[in-house]
Amino acid sequence: MKKISKKRWEIFKKILGIFFIIIGVIGLFLPFLQGILFILIGIALFKNKSIKKCVVDFFKKIKNKSFEFKI
């Protein structure tokens, strides 16, 4: 099996992140899709950290009430 280069993996993650964000936005208007869940997964894919770390950090920020929306 060929090893995927780091640059290709980052490009794949960004494309997948965009896909999840688009599905999430569509899901905000359709009752059978969980829009917020897909948006959070898409955002997590754009970060360099693992998805688990992103979710834990998100809930820590909410708990501390220091949540700021950053793009």
Specify the pTM.
0.59
Say how far apart CA 63 and CA 60 lie, in whole Å.
Answer: 5
The domain limits of the chain are: 6-64
* pLDDT tens track for 7-64: 888 888 888 888 988 888 888 888 777 888 888 888 888 776 666 676 677 777 767 7
Look at residues 16, 68, 61 and name the one whose alpha carbon lies nearest to residue 42. 16
